[in-house]
Amino acid sequence: MPGPRMPLRTAAALIGSLSLAASLTACDGGSASSAGSGGGEKTVTVYSADGLKSDKGDGWYDKVFADFTKKTGIEVKYVEGGSGEMVQRALREKTNTQADVLVTLPPFIQQADGKGLLQSYEPQGSDKVNGADKAADGKWTSVVNNYFGFIYDKKELAEAPKTWEELLDATYKGKLQYSTPGVAGDGTAVLVKAMHDFGGKEPAMEYLKKLQANNVGPSSSTSKLAPKTDKGELLVANGDVQMNHAQSKSMPNLGIWFPARDGGGPTTFALPYAAGLVDKAPHGENGKKLLDYLLGEDAQKLVSQVGGGFPARTDVKPTDANAVELAKIMAGVEVFEPDWADIDKNLSAYVDAWKSATGS
């Protein structure tokens, strides 16, 4: 386990208005659902990257939204999609703001800030969040910490791959897939890690060009790759530790691993779910209350136990079974810190380079 703190945590057209009857699936283009009951001003709308809500209703969002509604009477309206999708949707609605709270992975939370989509608000408990996991001006704060990772099918593979280079083997042809950079936060994270591990943009793109021969193709949804891997349709896919650990409870063939270069050790980086109050939020006061609740001790204590992730608050140190398992997963893995300012500034160029290299 790297250090005493677990720092963190990656635009198609979507339906034009929120509907409580609509059904959303992760990263597939977004949909709306709700937690609790009520209407009028007793509502708060959340646009979020996938991974914290469960189709079975037993995810961290499911629990904390229900508890929040019970405590405050404020109904949570929920819209889910890829990090890039959520930012693009909020940007399209900038003159008619619909969301109150935006939750995405880096670098999309920085992108949202840069596009003027967020307003400053420091939630109660944010003083317990490490400085690297929040904006200095209060525009966003991590609510769940996480790490980038890969998954593999434990039933089909005797052991996890160890290196990027192994993935070029013909064994993985048509059996490997990663989500789309620039659309999904975890997909963008593939670029971030490849550029780190290979020492820059050009060698990373050279590798990803070779890897494309084995790649099934684009996917706007990271979470949808796990069921394919569990069923053996894929041998390897990208993901993140929190989401995949939670999914493994119902998908027993999922294993988590971290690619290394030949001769090197496994590496990863923090990939938090970062939340911000949307500028001109229609229910801004309710948005503040929800952010306070998400960073409250009760909700943070459930991050590992229910959500399979890492608390954002450094003073919350869980000892539940999930926390123990997560510590084992992270043992011996080097955690590096990306230059998020550079990635935010050059993201379009990096994505364009990936498109050119892979023919996507």
d(CA 59, CA 327): 20
d(CA 6, CA 283): 32
Residue 352 corresponds to which tokens in the numbers above?
């364009």
- DSSP single-letter state for residue 77: E
Q: Which amino acid is at 262?
A: D
pTM: 0.80
Exposure of 61 in the CB half-sphere (CA atoms within 13 A): 27
b/e code 249-276 from CB counts within 10 Å (16+ = b): eebebbbbbbbbbeeeebbbbbbbbbbb
Tens of pLDDT along the chain (360 residues)? Answer: 333 333 333 333 332 333 333 333 333 334 444 443 334 589 999 999 988 998 889 999 999 999 999 999 999 999 999 899 999 999 999 999 999 999 999 999 999 999 999 999 999 999 999 998 999 999 999 999 999 999 999 999 999 999 999 999 999 999 999 999 988 889 999 999 999 999 999 999 999 999 999 999 999 889 899 999 999 999 999 999 999 998 998 999 999 999 999 999 999 999 999 999 999 999 999 999 999 999 999 999 999 999 889 999 999 999 999 999 999 999 999 999 999 889 989 999 999 999 999 999
306, exposed or middle or buried, with CB in 10 Å at 0-12, 13-18, 19+? Answer: buried
> Could you give the 3-state DSSP secondary structure of residue 322?
helix
Alpha-helix runs per DSSP H in 126-267 = 185-198, 201-211, 225-230, 241-247
